């Protein structure tokens, strides 16, 4: 399976990405490719720049240098409209779910639908799409609740539904299981897998959870000191003799 994924089309390619905040050199020449239908796991210590990298990828942060190609377009050179169009094809699951506190679950899901009008046009009735997205994550009954009334696991599911509602081709997960108990984390993982199979999406999963990486990855990259320190399948990396690599699997 993994060999033939490597032969598929490349949809994201990052070359020599650098980003600093003052004297804090977070990324020092990071390289990465994502193939169609692939689940790429990126592991790194807390504060190693995983979130910064993924935010550069979607244009929330601007890179200092390097190139980021997403579906043939160079992020960073795009007009706002083109960037918005690309963003409809990329779902982003934020680290802390990032649900809008002041809106109900339904309004949370409608927000991207009503604003990214290019994909589905201007919708009169968003109910079918909202309900479908909620059913995908098994929370159709929560449609009228406020985020404050949801548990951590439910919030993560709703956030997932919100990223899925535009039916993106690529999904970026920023620590999807962090802060959840092991059982809920497992449920989220199963959900991620089923979504992957149902919609045939490609994903980048940022995590420091070894179980998560084992279950979901086709390929892994270890981010150490701002570069892609090691790369390979879970089995290859977990049996590596390099102490820096081994530190991740203890």
Partner 1 sequence: MNAIFKIIELIKSFLLEIGELSYFAGRFFRESFRRPFEFKEFLRQCFYMGNRSLLLVAVTGFIIGLVFTLQSRPTLLEFGAVSWMPSMVSISIIREIGPIITALICAGRIGSGIGAELGSMRVTEQIDAMEVSGTNPFKYLVVTRIMATTLMLPLLVFFGDAIALFGSYLVENVKGHVSFLLYFNQVFNALEFGDLIPATIKSFFFGFAIGLVGCFKGYYCKKGTAGVGVAANSAVVYTSMLLFIIDFIAVFVTNIFYDL
Tell me which residues touch partner 1 (CB under 8 A). 55, 58, 60, 84, 87-88, 90, 92, 94-102, 111-112, 115-116
Using CB under 5 A, which of 51, 88, 207, 217 touches Mg ion? Answer: 51
State the binding partner of 153 from partner 1, Mg ion, ligand ADP, none, CB within 5 to 8 A by kind.
none
Which residue in 11, 14, 17, 26 binds ligand ADP (CB under 6 A)?
Answer: 26
For 36-96, list the strands marked E by DSSP.
39-44, 65-70, 73-74, 90-93
CB of 96 to partner 1, least distance (A): 5
Classify 195 as helix, strand or coil. Answer: helix
Which structure tokens are listed for 168? 């993106």
Beta-bridge partner residues of 69: 13, 74
Task: Annotate each residue in 37-56 with x if it binds ligand ADP (CB under 6 A) or - if it does not, as one string.
Answer: -------x-xxxxxxx----
What is the C-alpha to C-alpha distance for residues 153 and 53, in angstroms, rounded to an integer? 25
Which CB, 111 or 249, lies closer to partner 1? 111
By CB under 5 A, residue 207 contacts Mg ion: no
Q: How far is the CB of 118 from ligand ADP (least distance, A)?
A: 29
With H, G, I as helix, E, B as strand and everything else as coil, classify residue 128: helix
Q: Tell me whether residue 51 or residue 228 sits nearer to partner 1 (CB atom).
A: 51
- Is residue 30 left, alpha or beta, with left meaning phi > 0 and alpha meaning psi from -120 to 50? beta
Distance CA 171, CA 163 (A): 8
């Amino acid at each position: 399976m993994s060999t033939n994924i490597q032969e598929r089309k490349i949809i994201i390619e990052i070359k020599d990405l650098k980003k600093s905040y003052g004297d804090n050199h977070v990324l020092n020449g990071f390289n990465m490719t994502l193939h169609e239908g692939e689940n790429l796991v990126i592991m790194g210590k807390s504060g190693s720049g995983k979130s910064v990298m993924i935010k550069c990828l979607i244009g929330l942060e601007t890179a200092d240098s390097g190139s980021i190609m997403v579906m043939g377009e160079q992020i960073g050179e795009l007009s706002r409209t083109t960037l918005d169009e690309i963003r409809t094809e990329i779902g982003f699951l934020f680290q802390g779910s990032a649900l809008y506190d002041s809106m109900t679950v339904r309004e949370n899901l409608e927000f991207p639908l009503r604003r990214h009008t290019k994909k589905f046009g201007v919708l009169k009735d968003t109910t079918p799409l909202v309900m479908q997205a909620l059913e995908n994550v098994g929370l159709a009954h929560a449609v009228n609740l406020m985020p404050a009334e949801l548990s951590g696991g439910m919030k993560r599911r709703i956030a997932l539904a919100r990223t899925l509602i535009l039916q993106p081709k690529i999904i970026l997960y920023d620590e999807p299981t962090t802060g959840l108990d092991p059982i809920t984390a497992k449920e989220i993982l199963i959900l991620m897998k089923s979504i992957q199979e149902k919609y045939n999406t490609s994903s980048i999963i940022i995590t420091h959870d070894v179980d998560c990486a084992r279950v979901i990855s086709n390929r892994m990259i270890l981010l150490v000191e701002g570069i892609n320190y090691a790369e390979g399948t879970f089995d290859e990396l977990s049996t590596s003799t390099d102490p820096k690599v081994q530190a991740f699997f203890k």
